[in-house]
Amino acid sequence: MSDVQLWTLIFVVVSFGLYIYIAYASRVNTTSGFYVAGGGIPAPANGAAIAADWMSAASFISMAGIIAFSSNGYSGSVYLMGWTGGYVLLALLLAPYLRKFGKYTVPDFVGDRYSEAARLVSVVCAIVVSFVYVAGQMSGVGVVFQRFLGVDTTVGVIIGMVIVFVYAVFGGMKGITWTQVAQYSVLIVAYLIPAFAISQKLTGIPVPQIGFGQIMDELNGLQNDLGLGEYTSAFTQMNMLNMILMTATLMFGTAGLPHVIVRFYTARSVRAARFSALWALFFIALLYTTAPAIGAFSKFNVLNQIPGTGVDDVPEWFASWRDVGLITVNDLNGNGVIDVDGGMGDAFELAINNDIVVLATPEIAGLPAPIIGLVAAGGLAAALSTASGLLLVISSSVANDVYYKKVNPQATEARQLMVGRIAMGCAIVVAGYLGINPPGFVAQVVALAFGLGAASFFPILVLGIFWKKCTAAGATAGMVAGLGTTLAYQVWTIDIYGGSDGLFGISETSFGAVGMLINFVVTIIVSQFTTKPTPTMQKLVEDIRYPGRSELVAAHASGSLEEEQLHGDGPDGEPSAT
């Protein structure tokens, strides 16, 4: 066992042991504790959990790689702008109002606000989005185990499945929340320490956000010398239309992701939900302002070390990643030398998988083995934290919104918890399969999930809060049209299924914004010609938008409002009895 493997094993065992202990100490026996941690998480802790839930394997493992290699710098900014901007939309437009509405899940809000038919459609949307998203997380787990512990990808994913099963199934949202606080601590330390060390080594400035500016001129010059074009050149890998649409897709997709939205239900109050958003933005900014620097540092080091090197004379880190198939060399001219001729990450002599950049950066920079092991543990923390949140969405959608609301409304809490845990166990098995057979690299799969989230949830949540006359039929039709169109387009255009050029050159990861617009249009048009919400529901929608807790909101939160008052069964949505 090498020093790197030893230190990785130490950090993984210690961190996994901590997660399991937290889950055991936080185990729950109530549905409120399982679904929303009893609504009692303090704002700073909730902010850290939100950050961990949101900053997935895509943020930790893939984003810097996309910025550095796939996007040549400039185009990669769509991830920074989209994901961060989307979080602001979520915090301002959705989170406080959904928390005040007082339900467990996004389908719960949809069901109460619109109808039971809309609830079932939103359950399908939540499950589809969550499974697509979780595939990227489990794939990231496999990458880390394969490289740093010499474990087969399949075995690595299975180990990740077992750990998530232990702390998610027994601890529910309460266990997941406090585990995510620990996971955020691990992942942010693992991300920042190498960044500070590499910035000091390359630029003499220990702050990567400042050192990043200094290295840009050198990187532009180096790329020009190699015939790659300037790192900061615009629209070299992505045209303007796709940049605009993908930024919008990631923004609105972030605001529509069910596993992020549900985190605000765990806050102690509406005020705590707002402060949770503020804390989360701070915690997220620590990583998101560092990622561009990591990408630039990594590419600078690679271009300094590899081009012109003999195929058999590569550095040890290069050989290690090549051995697991995440770096490939194709000596096209047969001269025995690695020539970078026209681009990085394409079908040229050198191809580097985006998912390795952050994980390999400490090795590339020659940092000591303990830091390399810490980064591996951070990558696992990022993947597992998001995976657990997604799996809880799937579990709660099945147990609360299907089983309890539709199949067995008389089910005891014990029975509901049992169904929820069984659903989560089944979801973990499916997630493991998707992690072993993912439809693309980590960030690409995650980008697809954001597109589905934008096309399905964001329009009906915003309209459900800010347009009191949005109807159940309109919301249902909008979700079906938005999700169906986007999913069909993604299947049609994604490379693994043939890779059509699509419409106007719009990529599969950018189409979510178009699907969102389709959802908005269909929802608004259908709502003009269908039964309006009851007066009680319209008044409730108005009340959740204003400070304070009205009697109507309190009655709804306690469950004392009758179904007929909320949805009615008379003409024009009027309740037949009050």
CA–CA separation, 326 and 18 (whole Å): 30
Q: Check pLDDT > 80 for residue 117.
A: yes
CA–CA separation, 527 and 115 (whole Å): 13
Q: Is residue 327 assigned to a domain?
A: no
Instruction: With cut-offs at 50, 70 and 90, classify the pLDDT of residue 176.
Output: confident
Q: Check pLDDT > 90 for residue 516.
A: yes
Q: What is the pLDDT of residue 438?
A: 67
Q: Check pLDDT > 90 for residue 425.
A: no
DSSP summary character for residue 533: P
Q: What is the pLDDT of residue 556?
A: 67
Percent of all residues in the chain with a pLDDT value above 90, rounded to a whole number: 6
Least confident of 349-353, 418-422, 453-457: 349-353
Neighbours of 281 (CB within 10 A): 17
Mean pLDDT of the chain: 79
Q: Is residue 175 assigned to a domain?
A: yes
Beta-carbon contacts of residue 446 (< 8 Å; ≥ 6 apart):
56, 57, 58, 62, 133, 136
Q: Check pLDDT > 50 for residue 14.
A: yes
CA–CA separation, 104 and 100 (whole Å): 11
Q: How many CA atoms lie within 13 A of 395 on its CB side?
A: 33
Q: What is the pLDDT of residue 520?
A: 95
**Burial of 429 from C-beta contacts in 10 A (0-12 / 13-18 / 19+):** exposed
Bigger pLDDT: 521 or 560? 521
CA–CA separation, 37 and 28 (whole Å): 8
Which position has the token pair 């950066």?
Answer: 361
Q: Check pLDDT > 70 for residue 527.
A: yes
CA–CA separation, 72 and 243 (whole Å): 14
Q: What is the pLDDT of residue 497?
A: 46
Instruction: With cut-offs at 50, 70 and 90, classify the pLDDT of residue 16.
Output: confident
Q: What is the pLDDT of residue 342?
A: 41
Least confident of 255-269, 304-318, 554-568: 554-568
**Sequence-separated contacts (24+) of 487-496 with Cβ below 8 Å:** 487/128, 487/452, 489/514, 489/515, 490/448, 490/451, 490/452, 494/439, 494/440, 494/448, 495/440, 496/439, 496/440
Bigger pLDDT: 137 or 290? 290
Q: Check pLDDT > 50 for residue 352.
A: yes
User: Residue 403 maps to which CATH number?
Assistant: 1.20.1730.10
Highest average pLDDT, of 196-200, 234-238, 379-383, 435-439, comes from 196-200
Q: What is the pLDDT of residue 518?
A: 95
Q: Check pLDDT > 60 for residue 519.
A: yes
Q: Is residue 484 assigned to a domain?
A: no
Q: What is the pLDDT of residue 70?
A: 62
Q: Is residue 573 assigned to a domain?
A: no
SS3 label, residue 75: coil
Overall number of domains in the chain: 1
Asked whether the beta carbons of 100 and 553 are under 8 A apart, the reply is yes
Q: What is the pLDDT of residue 474?
A: 93
Q: What is the pLDDT of residue 562?
A: 67
CA–CA separation, 91 and 86 (whole Å): 9
pLDDT digits (tens, 9 = 90+) for 529-577: 998 888 888 888 888 887 766 777 767 666 666 666 667 654 444 444 3
Q: Is residue 148 assigned to a domain?
A: yes
Bigger pLDDT: 210 or 70? 210
Q: Is residue 428 assigned to a domain?
A: yes
Mean pLDDT, residues 287-303 taken together: 85
Q: Check pLDDT > 60 for residue 343.
A: no
* Token pair recorded at residue 237: 């890998």
If we measure between CA atoms, which residue out of 359, 390, 399 comes closest to residue 138? 390
Q: Which domain holds residue 82?
A: 3-22+37-106+138-298+368-457
Q: Check pLDDT > 80 for residue 279.
A: yes
Q: Is residue 77 assigned to a domain?
A: yes
Mean pLDDT, residues 464-474 taken together: 91
Instruction: With cut-offs at 50, 70 and 90, classify the pLDDT of residue 345.
Output: very low
∠ Cα 181 187 190 (to 5°): 140
Q: Is residue 181 assigned to a domain?
A: yes
